[in-house]
Amino acid sequence: MIENTFGMNIIPDNDIERLSALKRYRIMDTPSEASFDNIAKLCTQIFNVPISLVSLVDAERVFFKANVGMGNAKEANRGKSLCALAVLSDDVTVFEDALKEPCLMANPNVAGDFGLRFYAGAPLITYDGFLIGTLCIIDKKARSFSEKEKTILAGMATAIMDQVELRLSALDEIDKHLGLSKQADEQREEIYAMNEELTATNEELRESQEELIASANSLANVNEELAASNEELVVSQIELQNSIEEIEASAETLRMITDNMPQLAWMADGTGSIYWYSQRWFDYTGTTLSDMVGWGWQKVHHPDHVQRVTEKVSYHFNNGIVWEDIFPLKGSDGEYRWFLSRAIPSKNEKGEVIRWFGTNTDITDQRKLEQQKDDFLSIASHELKTPITSLKASLQLLDKIKDKEYSSMHIRLIEQSNRSMEKMSVLVDELLNIHRLTDGHLHLNKTTFTIAEMLDLCCNHVRVAGKHELVFSGDKDLQIHADEHRVDQVVVNFVNNAVKYAPDSKEIYLIVEKLDGFAKVSVKDTGPGIAPEKLPYIFDRYYRADHSGQAYNGLGLGLYISAEIIKKHDGQIGVESELGKGSTFWFTLPR
Ligand code: ADP
């Protein structure tokens, strides 16, 4: 509270700013300092006064930063201190005799015991113009104060103010240092905090690291297990691959065997239901697995046989015994061929049939050959029987007249016997030939001879019979190196056939041609000829073309033997024939 004793406004308009200016010097209530005390002391000496003060005017009080002559007083009420008046003007405020100053009449320092008479106060002016206090001198007696003294006091006030500023700078400097050190402290603190954080993080890191190591270890274990499993897997895979390869190899082997063996093959389960056929089966029957699976095979069986076959095979399947049967199967061309079929059971350790492996062997040609052989035997017997019967009759008649006088009858019967014998001899020769040929015992005795000469000598029996004329044409001098006897046999066979199958062909032509590296011999008749569909079989064993309505003797071996002889010479044999025009049988031999 200000106890204003001056009867006038002592608060300047800018007091708030002034107070904040004062405040910034951080000087209020600080202990006395020699620098200020010294100036105050100096003032008392210069001006010869008992009291000198450095006063700082606060909001309600005046603080004495330096006090010379006022005892222990530290401060005074702003309303009672004359300094409150001195900070109202930039000039030095001077009261030479206070008792004469109306505004000071009521002032206790003037009116009271202290008995202040003289006051001169120079304002302490900040660099920015605020009057924050005074340097004043006080005396208890009235005195005069010259302009010069005023100037000195003002100068001293300036010195005080310089000190105040200096002090502030020092404080600021200290603060700065303090600030810096504070900053350093803070930084240190921060570093400590960080360190701690940092330490904490380390701990965390260590824990994480440990966890990581543990994870890595368990991962390594898992990895190892995985690697082991992987290895096992790889091994299993390799084994599997090997097994697959083995199975594939077995399947391939089975396929190769079944594809290359002449038989058709198939497999059935324990009940006899077929689930696999070899390619040959499909190739022959022209069917597919879906057609044939199970009991589908019945579709390619002959209706006359299927029931019997089914019954028999079912019986064998049911009883687990080897099955064998012969029956025809329909080919993709619709033709039936005969098959010898077998199936063997494959059993498990309990003796149960788990699979059947079956084959069908095409025996059509074999059956045909057997049939031909049978036919041949009956023909051969028949052929032999005729001359034998004739010979027997001749001999019986001879026996009857053996004691009778030798007559023409004897001669006829002997001749007849001879002819029968000759026929039998030819037949036996043919049979021997075929035997030798089939056993591979045909040996060639080669010489060089002129073909025309050979032809001239052969077939005299035809010339003698006089029914046919043998007409020679071609190269008379052509020579070959061959078995003359065997080649002669071929020519005789051709000529005999011409005589036999073309009886009305008056001329039989014998033609010799010289070809590039070959000699070609042809026997041509102008007989009935041979049907084109029969030509491909004409050189087959036992083959005899059917000359409808006409019965010809023969074994169906002549042309077969001829072909074998020519082939043995590395030559070729063939026939050109046209029905109603005649036939030309030919062979070639290397020269
Ligand atoms: P074979 O005369 O004993 O029957 P071949 O093998 O000599 O046996 O003759 C086979 C078949 O060829 C004869 O059955 C006959 O039908 C036919 N053939 C052979 N030569 C002639 C020919 N010149 N003219 C017509 N058919 C012939």
pLDDT, tens digit (0-9, with 9 covering 90-100), for 476-508: 999 999 999 899 989 999 999 999 999 999 999
Provide, rounded to the nearest whole percent, the portion of the chain with pLDDT above 90.
62
Average of pLDDT values for 137-144? 95
CA–CA separation, 192 and 200 (whole Å): 12
Band of pLDDT at residue 179, cut at 50, 70 and 90? low
Dihedral sign for Cα 243, 247, 253, 256, please.
negative
- Residue of minimum CA distance from atom 3 in ligand 1: 554
Mutate-to-test residue for ligand 1 from 505, 538, 547, highest number of ligand atoms within 8 A of CB: 538
Taking CA atoms only, the protein residue closest to ligand 1 atom 20 is 497
Q: What is the pLDDT of residues 280-311, one digit of tens each?
A: 999 999 999 999 999 999 999 999 999 999 99
Cβ atoms of 512 and 476 within 8 Å: the answer is yes
pLDDT digits (tens, 9 = 90+) for 445-462: 899 999 999 999 888 778
Residues with CB under 6 A from ligand 1: 493, 497-498, 501-502, 525, 527, 530, 538, 543-545, 547, 554-560, 583
Contact 471, 510 (CB under 8 A): yes
**Where is average pLDDT lowest: 63-77, 217-231, 391-405, 522-536?**
217-231
Determine the pLDDT at residue 25.
92
Give the pLDDT of residue 180: 64
∠ CA 300-306-310, rounded to 5°: 110
- Asked if residue 223 has pLDDT above 90, the reply is no
Lowest mean pLDDT among 220-224, 269-273, 330-334, 577-581: 220-224
CA 111 to ligand 1 center in whole angstroms: 189
Kindly tell me if the per-residue pLDDT of 549 is higher than 60: no
Q: What is the mean pLDDT of residues 73-77?
A: 93
Average pLDDT over every residue of 549-564:
78
CA of 148 to the centre of ligand 1 (A): 183
Please check the confidence at residue 267 and state whether its pLDDT lies above 60. yes
Among 504, 544, 577, say which to mutate for ligand 1: greatest number of ligand atoms within 8 Å of CB. 544
Tell me which residue has its CA closest to atom 24 in ligand 1: 501
Distance (angstroms) between ligand 1 centre and the Cα of 501 equals: 7
CA–CA distances in Å: residue 214 to residues 167, 208, 236: 66, 9, 32
Residue 551 has pLDDT above 70, yes or no: no
In sequence order, the 6+-apart residues with CB closer than 8 A to the CB of 110 are 98, 99, 101, 104, 116, 117
Q: If you measure from the C-alpha of residue 176 to the centroid of ligand 1, how many angstroms do you get, rounded to a whole number? A: 146
DSSP code string of 446-481: -EEEEHHHHHHHTTHHHHHH-SSEEEEEE-SS-EEE
For ligand 1, the distance from its centroid to the CA atom of residue 149, given in whole angstroms, is: 182
pLDDT band of residue 167 (cuts 50, 70, 90) is confident
Who wins on pLDDT, 138 or 376?
138
DSSP letter at 505 equals: -
The 10 Å Cβ neighbour count of residue 150 is 16
For the cut 80, the answer to whether the pLDDT of residue 185 exceeds it is no
3-state secondary structure labels for all residues of 512-547: EEEECCEEEEEEECCCCCCCCCCHHHCCCCCCCCCC
The ligand 1 atom nearest the CA atom of 545:
16
- The closest-lying atom of ligand 1 relative to the alpha carbon of residue 525 is 23
* pLDDT one-digit tens code per residue, 307-338: 999 999 999 999 999 999 999 999 999 999 99
pLDDT digits (tens, 9 = 90+) for 342-386: 999 999 999 999 999 999 999 999 998 888 778 777 777 877 887
pTM of the model: 0.44
Q: What is the pLDDT of residue 377?
A: 78
Q: What percent of the chain has pLDDT over 70?
A: 96
